[in-house]
Amino acid sequence: MEKSSTLTGSKSLCFHCGDTVRGEQVVHDGKLFCCSGCKIVYEILQQNDLCNYYSIQQTPGISPSPIEISRFSFLNDEKIQQQLLDFSDGKTASVTFSLPTIHCSSCIWLLEQLYKLDNGIIQSRVDYLKKQVAIKFDIKKTSLKNIVVLLSTIGYEPELQLDAVDKKMESEITRSLYYKIGVAAFCFGNSMLFSFPEYLGFDATEMFLRPIFSYLNLLLALPIFFYCSADYFVSAIGGLRKKIINIDVPIALGIVLLFGRSAYEIISQTGPGFVDSMSGLLMFLLLGRVFQSKTYDRLNFERNYKSYFPLSVRLKKNSVETTVPISSLKKGDRIIIRNNEIIPADGMLLRGSAAIDYSFVTGESTSIEKVLGELIYAGGKQSGGIIELEVTKEVSQSYLTQLWNNFNETVREKGQLSELSNSVSKYFTIVVLIVSFGVLFYWLPKDVKTAVNAFTGILIVACPCALAISIPFTLGTTLRIFGRNNFYLKNNSVIETLSKIDTIVFDKTGTITHAQQSSAEFVGDKLTYEEVQATYSLAKNSIHPISKMISDQLTGEQVTVENYSEQIGSGISGTVNSKIYKLGSRPFIKNGIILKGNINETRTYLSIDDEVKGYFLIKNLYRDGLDDVLSSLSKKIHFSVVSGDNESERVKLQSIFPVGTELQFNQTPTDKLNYVKSLQEQGKRVLMIGDGLNDAGALLQSNLGIAVSENVSQFSPSSDAIVSGESFGKIAQFIKFASLSMKIVVASFVLAFIYNSFGIYFALQGQLTPIMAAILMPASSITIVFFTTISTQLFAKKRGLL
């Protein structure tokens, strides 16, 4: 490993991962790397002629986090293997891993060349959108563990979960939708052809063809009625049972009448029937479904704490270490936790120095030191050396699990159905039924045939196909536009909820502040270059988050630090060039002068040879665009901030947020949930924006929960939407665009009504002919499709969202 001072330019990027190189530089093969991890990956790829990886896309790599191979030894356990493997026949096996770090085409290329890195791998296929790789391997030549280790070394550490929800179910649903569309399109096309002669008129010599065509049509109507429409019947009946007239009720009614009247006309040879209109109707309805079923496969909105937990843990029994699944942990077991591992169960610290990072549970960024005999709650991540714990509660009884289960119990089920479409369809159905029965009774005494024709005609032509597809097409387009702006919604109905909220509750840490990028500002005497170097090297020795923050802030070469020592919870010290450097809390630095200031801010003092040089002030940075969000929404929306932190930032928050904003500090997860609930009891529609598991309850309780995540494919608590940190400033725009989309939906409803009343006008007189229906119904659907998608896109462009 060489070190170079010629490459100290501030904008030097790592050849592998493209990160700005900070601190220590690694140069290999004439290329600059940010860490030795990146260099190792480069070396592996270079040895195997896989450098094409770097030519497909610039700096495609992922900086691998340091791994310990022993961490994966549980993969040799047969039971765990059985749960992970998709298939195994004793010779070959296949497994599907979810790799959250897949992000570019170079990733696809490299992951499909895995057989070059491990000759036991037969084939690997990537599904880019799902961020998965399916690997087929020879179990004699390699093992599951080897593959996982290989993937982790090159930066693609798989997300291993035993309770992973089976995604296959979902793909079955999409597939069945495709089958239905295929069948509907086939019937639509053919029945149109078979209906043309009828519309154009038969010559006397061709009259014999007429029954052939109409019976063929009837044949085509069967799969449409019994197969393609099944979902609508189920949903309509389900709705009626719950005493809700949903949009599928009039649709199902229309389909039944279309089929019934067509069958009657064809069998009695009194007319050609409406089979073409019926199959066209189903095709458009199903297309709308596909359009709205666009989901973000790679995102998981339902994640719970389990997906964050390890699969297994090292158990120590009679000084022998074994790996066991966490579910089999019992009270009194002794477990061993290494650096960067997560504590799976509540336990008492028996050995080692623990610095636990609870950022996942509490959103707090600083880690907490624990002393021997202290209780450590599950969910924390150990940073530092090896620790030994005695399990005090089983995993299912632990604090975190209890917390989670409480949330899920207290939170009501969120409505999935669209309020707007339901209320419209209710009135629509009632009006249509009144009109059709009115017409029936008006005609009955005069002419039974016209009466039946008019009655069925109205129900057929009023079938709200255009109405039913305006929501999926408008909101589906909006969903895609949001997706492009890194705002991912769970489903369509979230847009409607978003357009109606009147209160926003923010979490503080990680939500309105950056979780990771807190800045460490040095306040005090000016340091010489030599001193900066020494401080940098000293801080580099420790893995404590504050030390890391300080070493990231400083740039320099690493110099030798002698007599390095770390005093947990206090600070670090070492000798550089025969001067004693100390970094740490006030009591740790001897002769520390009392500097005035707010004690709630985190300060880390620096002393050289017992002379205090100053301190590093650790501040949280607020996200860009927070001002914009607040200023453009403050007229209509009330804000609140709930924070698990102390009040140190109260003054600052008051200066940022508009007057009247409620600020709540020292809130536990349950407090947050109750706060949201109390707002809802006042009749508010609450949008909760949070990031950690500590917000999970509030996110679930709120009318709409948005999780802010720096990396959308990584953990975020269950929520209705996920927004990436960089798009946080656009939230105001998103809310406004959501209400605009709802206006477009209403406008397209009006359009659909115009078409409908046109058709009803003819139907009233019993004059609705099949050809009229065949033109009117598809025409209205096509108009709606174009109107909604084009207008939504145009507005998005105007607002700078496209």
**Burial profile 31-56: b = 16 or more Cβ within 10 angstroms, e = fewer:** ebbbbebbbbbbeebeeeebeebbee
Q: Which amino acid is located at 83 in the chain?
A: Q
Q: Which amino acid is located at 244 in the chain?
A: I
DSSP structural state of residue 541:
T
Q: What's the order of all strands across the beta sheet hosting 721-724?
A: 487-489, 721-724, 704-709, 686-690, 503-507, 638-642, 662-664
Distance of CA 665 to the CA centre of its chain: 28
Tell me which residues touch another protein (CB under 8 A): 49, 52, 56, 105, 108-109, 112, 125-130, 171, 174-175, 178-179, 182-183, 186, 189-190, 193-194, 205-206, 209, 212-213, 216
**What is the C-alpha to C-alpha distance for residues 467 and 482, in angstroms, rounded to an integer?**
23
Write out the E strands in 13-88: 26-28, 31-33, 85-88
**What is the C-alpha to C-alpha distance for residues 567 and 371, in angstroms, rounded to an integer?**
12
Nearest to 626, CA basis, from 648, 650, 657: 657
176's CB contacts (< 8 A; 6+ apart) are: none
**What is the C-alpha to C-alpha distance for residues 514 and 243, in angstroms, rounded to an integer?**
47
Nearest to 636, CA basis, from 700, 691, 707, 684: 684
- For the CB of residue 109, give the shortest distance to another protein in the complex, in Å: 5
Of 116 and 652, the one with the shorter C-beta distance to another protein is 116
Of 183 and 722, the one with the shorter C-beta distance to another protein is 183
**What is the C-alpha to C-alpha distance for residues 553 and 745, in angstroms, rounded to an integer?**
50
Cβ proximity of 13 and 58 under 8 Å: no
Nearest to 494, CA basis, from 426, 422, 432, 418: 418
CA atoms within 13 Å, Cβ hemisphere of 467: 28
Nearest to 512, CA basis, from 705, 691, 668, 735: 691
696's CB contacts (< 8 A; 6+ apart) are: 404, 407, 669, 690, 717, 718
Nearest to 74, CA basis, from 165, 160, 140, 164: 160
β-bridge mates for residue 159, sequence order: 98
**What is the C-alpha to C-alpha distance for residues 700 and 688, in angstroms, rounded to an integer?**
9
Report the 3 state secondary structure along 107-128: HHHHHCCHHHCCCCEEEEEEEC
635's CB contacts (< 8 A; 6+ apart) are: none
**Under DSSP, is residue 370 helix (H, G, I), strand (E, B) or coil?**
strand
- For the CB of residue 344, give the shortest distance to another protein in the complex, in Å: 34
β-bridge mates for residue 323, sequence order: 314
- What are the CA-CA distances from residue 214 to residues 36, 124, 201, 260, 380 (Å)? 75, 52, 13, 14, 70
**Burial profile 424-433: b = 16 or more Cβ within 10 angstroms, e = fewer:** bbbebbeebb
Alpha helices in 544-640 (DSSP H): 545-553, 626-633
Cβ proximity of 645 and 509 under 8 Å: yes
**What is the C-alpha to C-alpha distance for residues 613 and 18, in angstroms, rounded to an integer?**
35
Of 266 and 686, the one with the shorter C-beta distance to another protein is 266
Of 197 and 614, the one with the shorter C-beta distance to another protein is 197
- For the CB of residue 206, give the shortest distance to another protein in the complex, in Å: 6
Q: Which amino acid is located at 331 in the chain?
A: K
Report the 3 state secondary structure along 444-460: CCCCHHHHHHHHHHHHH
- For the CB of residue 585, give the shortest distance to another protein in the complex, in Å: 52
Report the 3 state secondary structure along 631-649: HHHCCCCEEEEECCCCHHH
Of 222 and 434, the one with the shorter C-beta distance to another protein is 222
**What is the C-alpha to C-alpha distance for residues 147 and 151, in angstroms, rounded to an integer?**
6
Sign of CA dihedral 275, 281, 282, 284: positive
- For the CB of residue 727, give the shortest distance to another protein in the complex, in Å: 22
Distance of CA 530 to the CA centre of its chain: 46
- For the CB of residue 264, give the shortest distance to another protein in the complex, in Å: 24
